[in-house]
A and B are shown apart, each in its own frame.
Chain A
Amino acid sequence: MNSIQMTQEVVILVADDDNGHARLIEKNLQRAGLHNPVVRFENGQDVLDFLFAHGEGPRRKPDVPYLLLLDIRMPKVDGIEVLRRIKADPDLRKVHVSMLTTTDDPREVLRCHDLGCNNYLVKPVDYEKFAEAIKQLGMFISLVQVPEINSRAPA
C-alpha cells in the first residue's frame, strides 16, 4: 500500500488572491521542471472549503498528497487563519504548508513558525530571486516525501 502512495503525484495548491502572482508561481514552477498539477484558490475560505471538504466547490481527494503555497493577506480568511486551522486539525496538519508572501515582518514570520508552517518564503520583487525561490521550492517538493493525508476520507 505504501508503495502505491509514494508514486502518487503531489498536487500543488496555490492560495493567492493576486492573479499575476499565481501565474508567476506556476510559470516558475514549470520552468524549474515541475509539472505537478496546480489548483488555484483566490481566498482563504476557498482553500479551507477544499481541504475541509465543505461547500459547493471542489474538495480534496483522499490519498492524494498536497502541498500548499499560502499567501497571508487575502480576502475573507487570511493566510494566518488558514494555517492555524490546518495545523489544528489532526489529519490536515500533515499537509506541507509554505508561506509565500510579500511580508517579511519578523513578527509575522515568527507567528507562522509558531503556528507550524513548514517554511516561509518572501516574494521578492527581484524577479531573478523570485524565480530562484520557486525553483528551490520545486527542488524541495521533488525531493521531499510529502505525506498523504489520512485515508479517512471526508464525507
Chain B
Amino acid sequence: MIDYSKLSKAQLIARLEALESSPTGSRPTQPGAGTDRHETKDLRELKAALDAHSIVAITDARGRITYANDKFCEISKFPREELLGQDHRIINSGYHPKSFFKNLWTTIGRGEVWQGEICNRAKDGSIYWVATTIFPFLNAKGKPEQYIAIRTDVTEHKRTEQALLRFADLVESTEDAILSETLEGIITSWNPAAERLFGYAAHEAIDQPIQLIIPADRRDEEADILARIARGERVHHLETVRRTKAGRLFEISATVSPIKDREGKIIGASKIVRDITERKQAQLQLARYADELKEKNKELETIVYVASHDLRSPLVNVQGFSSELAHACDRIKTLLDGSPAYSADKGELTTLLGQDIPEALSFIQAGVARMDALLAGFLRFSRLGRAAVKIQPLDMPSLMRSILKAMEFQIQQAEASVHSKELLPCQGDPTQINQVFSNLLDNALKYRDPQKACQITISSRLDGNQVHYAVADNGIGIAAEHQAKVFEIFHRLNPKHSTGEGLGLTIAQRILERHNGKIWLTSEPGQGSTFFVSLPRAVSSI
C-alpha cells in the first residue's frame, strides 16, 4: 500500500502519469492535437466518476467552497447555494481541537496531501464522520490555488469502532474477571481483573489451558461446562472453586456464554468471574448469627419461664403470711374486746388493729395479686414461643362466628353491635388466629367510648398474596404518640380503666410474626381505632 499522505503533489502527478503511460494503465495518453480536448473530456468523466462515488468539494485558496457535489449536499443537509462561498466551518462539529485544523492547513498550505477522519455537523445538527483526502492544486509559483476534498462517509464504521472501544474499556476497567477460551479450553483473552484475581499476567495465561486456574478435583466440571456451551447453552451463576497462581483456592461465581463467529458457529466461551469469598463468608456469618439469635431467644424464653415459676414461689409466702397476719389481728381484736385492761388505750389500738394494719395488708395483697398477674402473663407469653404453629387453610367466617359466640356475654354487656362482613380465607393456626382476633375484639370492647353505642366492623380485602383484615371500632382511640407502644409487653393504655395484664396485643403481634403476618393500626382519638392484620392468603379453596 502506498501512503498517499506522504507524497507531495508533484510525486502524485508523476505517479499518475506513470500509471497512464504504462501498458496496463486504463487511459493511455493520446498523442497529437486532440490531446487537450480528450484531456478535458477525461477530466469531466473522472469527476463524474468521483462524484458518483464520493463526497467532493472544491475550495479556493482561502478555503471558500466553490464546488459541492450532490453527495456533499446530501450528507451535510445544506442546499448547494448555502454551501457555496462559505468555508468548511459551516460543518464544523466542534469535536476536533483547533490544532487539528491548524495541522491540516499547514499540510495542504505546503502543497501536500492531507488525509484523516473528520467529524462534521450537518445542518440539522446530526453528526457524521468522513474519511477525507484533501488534494491541493498549485499555481505556476507552486502556491496552492484551490483544494479538492474527497470524502467517504464512515459514520457507521466510526460508531461501531467507538462502541467497541467503550466495550474494550469496560472489559479493561471492570472488577469482574473476564476471560475467553476456545471450545478446547485454551485461554484466548484475559482482562486486568483476571490478572488481579488469579495472579497470572495476560501473557502468562493466554494460550494456556484453562486448567491453569482449575483445582485438580474440579476438572470434570469444566469439560461439562464446555459441552453445554458447545450446545449453545449459557451457564448462569455457577458457584465453584478456582485456584490462583499462588495456589490459593477461593470461591467464585461465574457466568459462561458461547462466543460465535460471523456465521453463528460457536467457537468458544466467554466467562465473567467474580470472587464471592466475602459473600460466602457473610452468608456463613449470617447463618451463625441466626443460630446464635435462635439460641439466645430460646435462652430468654427459658429464663422467662423459670423466672416466672421461681418468682411465684415467694409470692405464695407473702400472700399467705399476710393473710396469717390478718387472722392474727382479728384474733387480737376479739381477745381485747373482752379484756377490761383494754379500755384505756382503746382509741389507738382500734386505729392500729382496725385501720392501719388492715390497710398495710391490703396494699401488700394487692401488690402480690398484681405481680402474680404479671408473672402469669410472662408464662403465657413464653409458652407461646414454644407452642407449635400448625398452618392450615382457615375458613374465617366460621372462625369469626365461633369467636363472637364465645364473646357473646361480653358483647352484650358492652351493648355493642359487631358487624362482620364476608371474610376471605387465609392460612394460619386456628387456635392462635382465634386468639389474635379475640384479643382485638376484647380491646375494642374494653376501650369503647361510654358516650357512644359501641360499633365494631370486621372486614377483609386481598392485597397480593396477603389478606388484610380490619377490626374497626368507634371507641376512645389512641393518640399518635401511644400508637407504637401498644404492642409493648405489659403496656396498658389506661391501667385504671381496664383489667388484664397488658399482653393482648403483644401476644397478637408475636403470633403474627410466627405466621409471616403483620399487625398495625390507624387511630384517631375520640373517633376510634382500626387494627389491621395481614396473613398469607389461602393456598387452596376451602
A residues engaging B (CB < 8 A)? 18, 20-21, 24, 27, 73, 102-103, 105, 123-128, 130-131
Contacts and interface: CB of A to CB of B under 8 A. Distances in A.
Interface string B371-383: 0100000010001
Contact of A127 (B310, B320, B379): B320
A105 B383 contact: yes
What are the 4 A-B residue pairs with the smallest beta carbon separation, nearest first? A20-B317, A127-B323, A125-B372, A24-B320
Given A24-B320, A130-B320, 11 more contacts: A18-B316, A20-B320, A21-B313, A24-B316, A24-B317, A73-B313, A123-B312, A125-B312, A125-B319, A127-B322, A130-B316
Contacts of B321: 20, 24
Contacts of B379: 105
B130 interface: no
A20 B372 CA distance: 17
A45 to B, nearest CB: 19
B369 interface: yes
B369 A103 contact: no
B479 to A, nearest CB: 35
B400 interface: no
B104 interface: no
Contacts of A105: 305, 379, 383
Nearest to B375: A125
A127 B368 CA distance: 11
19 contacts: A18-B313, A20-B314, A21-B316, A21-B320, A73-B309, A73-B313, A103-B309, A105-B383, A123-B312, A123-B313, A124-B316, A125-B368, A125-B369, A126-B369, A127-B320, A127-B323, A130-B316, A130-B320, A131-B323
Given A20-B321, A126-B369, A73 B310 contact: yes
B207 interface: no
- For chain B, what secondary structure do more than half of its interface residues adopt (helix, strand, loop), or is it mixed? helix
A126 B323 CA distance: 10
Contacts of B312: 102, 123, 125
B316 A20 contact: yes
B371 to A, nearest CB: 8
B302 to A, nearest CB: 12
Nearest to B311: A102
Interface centre among A20, A123, A128 (most CB of B within 10 A): A20
Contacts of A20: 314, 316-317, 320-321
Nearest to A122: B312
Contacts, number: 53
> Which of under 10, 10 to 19, 20 to 34, or 35 or more describes the interface residues of B?
20 to 34
Contacts of A102: 309, 312-313, 316
A125 to B, nearest CB: 4
A27 B369 CA distance: 22
A6 B368 CA distance: 43
Contacts of A131: 323
A153 B166 CA distance: 101
Interface in B267-293: none
A125 B316 contact: yes
Contacts of B310: 73
B249 interface: no
B204 interface: no
B366 to A, nearest CB: 12
Nearest to B312: A102
A145 to B, nearest CB: 30
Contacts of B313: 18, 21, 73, 102, 123
B404 interface: no
A127 B369 CA distance: 10
Nearest to A131: B323
Nearest to B313: A102
B324 interface: yes
Interface string B295-310: 0000000000100011
B329 to A, nearest CB: 14
Contacts of A124: 316
Nearest to A24: B320
B308 to A, nearest CB: 9
Contacts of A127: 319-320, 322-323, 365
B315 interface: yes
A102 B319 CA distance: 14
Contacts of A103: 309
Nearest to B371: A125
Contacts of B323: 127-128, 131
Given A27-B324, A125-B372, A21 B317 contact: yes
Contacts of A24: 316-317, 320-321, 324
B383 to A, nearest CB: 7
